[in-house]
Amino acid sequence: MSSAEAAVEVQSLSHTYADGTQALREVSFRMSAGESVALFGRNGSGKTTFILHLNGLLLPQRGTVRVGGLAVTKANLSAVRRSVGLVFQDADDQLFMSTVLEDVAFGLRNTGAAESEAAARAREVLAELGMTAGLDRAPWHLSLGEKRRVALAGVLAMRPALIVLDEPTTFLDPPGREELGTSLNHLPQAKVIVTHDAGFARRTASRAVFFERGRIVGDGSVEEILRRYDWDR
């Protein structure tokens, strides 16, 4: 797979925080367009530091990161962030407008889209995620599962090539996990899913990697990684 064909290509990425913690150690990783990859590992193993490099919230100290062939550098930050949608673990970190429709349209309006265009695109994405009934509701009145789908809608409205989800099933009940999994499986974009949830990974990813002490120590099918690292929880 060439660099141009890779949704994500990371070479020898290392990162050390100001307190001396070495969070990533020579990490290399590739994934194809349209592929869904689950990231497993214990807390503190480097998963979050890794995904923060994918949209430039952290820039490489050593090594390189490319998304859709575009290097993640300070000069390219605007373009990188348009192509990478990050869905945070806590949806409340992304929902702040007075209605669902306004929240989903916010990113488009912020990048210069006309009000009518932004609203139309927001309605389209919300319909795709089964959220048309709550357009005028306040986000803080939604269930956790609904909030997670609205946060995802806000990302999808920007038409990213890559979606990165950080522990998307946290605090979700089984119906909420089911709805979110169904939504993700209908999306054509490449997806990186940080999760401790083996069942959700089985449903939404065909490949997994395992992080340990800042390194990727395993890469294979979801079932293979779950079995090898006794992660079926």
d(CA 99, CA 202): 33
Query: How do strand 70-71 and strand 215-221 relate by DSSP bridges?
Result: unpaired
Domains of the chain: 3-94+161-228 (3.40.50.300)
Summarize pLDDT for 106-153 with one digit per residue, the tens: 877 777 778 888 888 888 888 877 777 777 777 777 777 788 788 888
The answer to whether the beta carbons of residues 41 and 79 sit under 8 Å apart is: no
pLDDT at 4 over 60: no
The strand order across the sheet containing 162-166 reads: 84-87, 162-166, 190-194, 36-41, 207-212, 215-221
pTM of the full predicted structure?
0.86
Kindly indicate the confidence band of residue 6, based on its pLDDT and cuts at 50, 70 and 90. confident
d(CA 124, CA 121): 5
The strand order across the sheet containing 6-16 reads: 22-32, 6-16, 62-67, 70-71
| 3-class SS of residue 87 | strand
Summarize pLDDT for 169-218 with one digit per residue, the tens: 887 788 888 888 888 888 899 999 999 999 999 999 999 999 999 999 99
Please tell me the predicted confidence (pLDDT) of residue 92.
64
Task: Report the amino acid identity of residue 126.
Answer: L
d(CA 20, CA 17): 5
Q: Return the bridge partners of 162, or none.
A: 84, 190
Instruction: Compute the mean pLDDT over every residue in the chain, rounded to the nearest whole number.
Output: 87
d(CA 52, CA 180): 22
Please tell me the predicted confidence (pLDDT) of residue 171.
78
Tokens 């890794």 sit on residue: 50
